[in-house]
């Protein structure tokens, strides 16, 4: 098979989301306590990055090579933590940005982790389950010097799931000669995974939206919601919004956009996606132009797909009152300025989608103590952590007249840099 995936350095002129992450850091650097200024440079560079070659045997007997990455952005507050993404367009610069956002996110919800991320440049739709298993195992083996339950703990991200984590856990455990459940999170519950992890990011998106809506006087009951992405984050966010009385009027994935002002049948969409791997041809909603998704009349807009989806080309068309970032980096800084000028608030990714890593933290703690909690207990603790983090950010934003993103970055960066400054330099 001749696979069309190009190595990332072919598109070297495309600096990608890393540039956006750096702009976000630059924006808040002057707002940090003076004592932390000498350490800001720490945030501008990943601690270590690994590029690996992943040769795998395809089902037809041929060998194909894929490029993989693992980046530790920062480990000042604890081991690296962050997902692994399979996508044909993943680049090192994207993984660096995602790792940087993990550093900030983990500090915002105050879980004792640094920031890390991984990715493999592959289109998983073009490959069988057996090929993806071989790829995942080879990737795990190639990055094994970087990961470990007290070193760096991967988790699912775009196009990876509990099964991927089971393969990673098994491969790492084989190398160690013992079962090490705590090396990854987002595992199946039968292998030391946590109840509630599957829906955790979507649940956190809802909690963040609920807290913001309460302060902005937007009722959830009857509110209209538009969701971009119908994967783990988009589907769960949509379902939990609907459980609380909202109407999901539009969904979009890479294949199409579906609209129904009366509210879409989310269970039917979920069944369709489970069978066909996309929304195309789903039995409900009217297909509309992809570009028109952004102009759909709604109160809540939840981007839960890729980076830079809300940009200068569509920001003017958005009519939502509140954007809740289920994805990492979905809004460009240019779009953010346009939206701010139009009075549209954004609950930033480093807060809005932190529910996933928060329950990953619970999973890691449960694996260490071999004592497992009930789903109710997990959901309650998640709700508390998300609401407290939201509250602190809202307060700071009010007190210092900042956007929610700037306030979240001030809190996150301050925690990371305080740890950095207190640890001091080695040697």
Which CB, 80 or 285, lies closer to ligand GLU?
80
Nearest-approach distance from CB 284 to ligand GLU, in angstroms: 29
In the region spanning residues 152 to 191, those forming contacts with ligand GLU, defined by CB under 6 A, are: 155, 157, 185-186
Nearest-approach distance from CB 14 to ligand GLU, in angstroms: 21
17, 115, 326, 356: residue in contact with ligand GLU (rule CB under 6 A):
356
Which CB, 237 or 257, lies closer to ligand GLU?
237
Rounded CA-CA distance 234/229 in Å is 5
Which CB, 157 or 253, lies closer to ligand GLU?
157
* Per-residue x/- track, 315-354, ligand GLU (CB under 6 A): -------------x------------------------x-
Secondary structure, 3-state, the chain: CCCCCCCHHHHCCCCCHHHHHHHHHHHHHHHCCHHHHHHHHHHHCCCEEEEEEEEEECCCCCEEEEEEEEEEEECCCCCEEEEEEECCCCCHHHHHHHHHHHHHHHHHCCCCCCEEEEEECCCHHHCCHHHHHHHHHHHHHHCCCCCECCCEEEEECCCCCHHHHHHHHHHHHHHHCCCCHHHCCCCCHHHCCCCCHHHHHHHHHHHHHHHHHHHHCCCCCCCEEEEECCCHHHHHHHHHHHHCCCEEEEEECCCCEEECCCCCCHHHHHHHHHHHCCCCCCCCCEEECHHHHHHCCCCEEEECCCCCCECCCCHHHCCCCEEECCCCCCECHHHHHHHHHCCCEEECHHHHCCHHHHHHHHHHHHHHHCCCCCHHHHHHHHHHHHHHHHHHHHHHHHHHCCCHHHHHHHHHHHHHHHHHHHHCCCC
Nearest-approach distance from CB 160 to ligand GLU, in angstroms: 9
Which CB, 70 or 247, lies closer to ligand GLU?
70
Which CB, 194 or 403, lies closer to ligand GLU?
194
Which CB, 186 or 229, lies closer to ligand GLU?
186
Which CB, 157 or 299, lies closer to ligand GLU?
157
Contact yes or no for 324/302 (Cβ under 8 A): yes
Which CB, 157 or 418, lies closer to ligand GLU?
157
| Number of residues counted as binding ligand GLU (CB under 6 A) | 12
Nearest-approach distance from CB 178 to ligand GLU, in angstroms: 23
Nearest-approach distance from CB 118 to ligand GLU, in angstroms: 10
Q: Which distant-in-sequence residues (6+ apart) come within 8 Å of 124 by Cβ?
A: 86, 87, 132, 159
In the region spanning residues 81 to 110, those forming contacts with ligand GLU, defined by CB under 6 A, are: 81-83
Nearest-approach distance from CB 217 to ligand GLU, in angstroms: 29
Identify which of 194, 125, 126 has the alpha carbon closest to the alpha carbon of residue 156: 194
Question: Which residue stretch of 5-13, 297-305, 356-364, 380-388 sits at the interface with ligand GLU (rule: CB under 6 A)?
Answer: 356-364
First to last CA, the chain: 50
Q: Which residues pair with 324 in a beta bridge?
A: 347
Residue nearest to ligand GLU (CB): 83
* Per-residue x/- track, 211-230, ligand GLU (CB under 6 A): --------------------
Nearest-approach distance from CB 204 to ligand GLU, in angstroms: 9
Residue 73 binds ligand GLU, judged by CB under 6 A: no
Catalytic one of 81, 105, 117, 321: 117
Nearest-approach distance from CB 106 to ligand GLU, in angstroms: 8
* Per-residue x/- track, 18-57, ligand GLU (CB under 6 A): ----------------------------------------
- Told to judge if 117 belongs to the known catalytic residues of this protein, a careful annotator would answer yes
Contact yes or no for 156/83 (Cβ under 8 A): yes
Residues known to be catalytic: 117
Q: Which residues bind ligand GLU (CB under 6 A)?
A: 81-83, 155, 157, 185-186, 328, 353, 356-357, 360
């Amino acid at each position: 098979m001749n696979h069309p995936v190009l190595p990332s350095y072919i598109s070297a002129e495309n600096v990608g989301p890393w540039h956006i992450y750096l702009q976000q850091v630059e924006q808040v650097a002057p707002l940090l306590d003076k004592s932390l200024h000498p350490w800001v440079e720490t945030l501008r560079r990943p601690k270590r990055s690994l590029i690996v070659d992943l040769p795998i045997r395809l089902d037809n007997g041929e060998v194909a090579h894929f490029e993989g990455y693992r980046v530790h952005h920062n480990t000042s507050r604890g081991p690296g933590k962050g997902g692994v993404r399979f996508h044909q367009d993943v680049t090192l610069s994207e993984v660096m940005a995602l790792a940087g956002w993990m550093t900030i996110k983990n500090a915002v919800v105050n879980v004792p982790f640094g920031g890390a991320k991984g990715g493999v440049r592959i289109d998983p739709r073009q490959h069988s389950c057996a090929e993806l298993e071989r790829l995942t195992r080879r990737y795990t083996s190639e990055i094994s010097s970087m990961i470990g339950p007290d070193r760096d703990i991967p988790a699912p991200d775009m196009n990876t799931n509990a099964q991927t984590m089971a393969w990673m856990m098994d491969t790492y455990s084989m190398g160690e000669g013992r079962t090490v459940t705590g090396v990854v999170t987002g595992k199946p519950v039968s292998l030391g995974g946590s109840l509630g992890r599957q829906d955790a990011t979507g649940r956190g998106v809802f909690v963040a939206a609920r807290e913001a809506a309460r302060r902005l006087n937007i009722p959830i009951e009857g509110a209209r919601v538009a969701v971009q992405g119908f994967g783990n984050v988009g589907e769960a966010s949509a379902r939990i919004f609907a459980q609380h009385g909202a109407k999901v009027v539009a969904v979009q994935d890479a294949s199409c956009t579906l609209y129904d002002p009366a509210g879409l049948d989310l269970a039917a969409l979920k069944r369709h996606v489970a069978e066909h791997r996309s929304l195309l041809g789903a039995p409900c909603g009217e297909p509309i132009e992809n570009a028109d998704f952004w102009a759909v009349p709604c109160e809540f807009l939840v981007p839960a797909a890729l980076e830079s989806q809300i940009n200068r080309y569509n920001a003017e068309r958005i009519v939502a009152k509140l954007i809740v970032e289920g994805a990492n980096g979905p809004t460009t800084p240019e779009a953010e300025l346009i939206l701010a000028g139009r009075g549209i608030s954004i609950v930033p990714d480093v807060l809005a989608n932190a529910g996933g890593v928060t329950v990953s933290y619970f999973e890691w703690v449960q694996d260490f103590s071999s004592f497992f909690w009930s789903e109710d207990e997990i959901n309650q603790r998640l709700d508390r952590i998300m609401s407290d983090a939201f509250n602190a950010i809202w307060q700071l934003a009010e007190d210092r007249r900042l956007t929610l993103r700037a306030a979240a970055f001030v809190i996150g960066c301050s925690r990371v840099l305080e740890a950095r400054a207190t640890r001091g330099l080695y040697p």
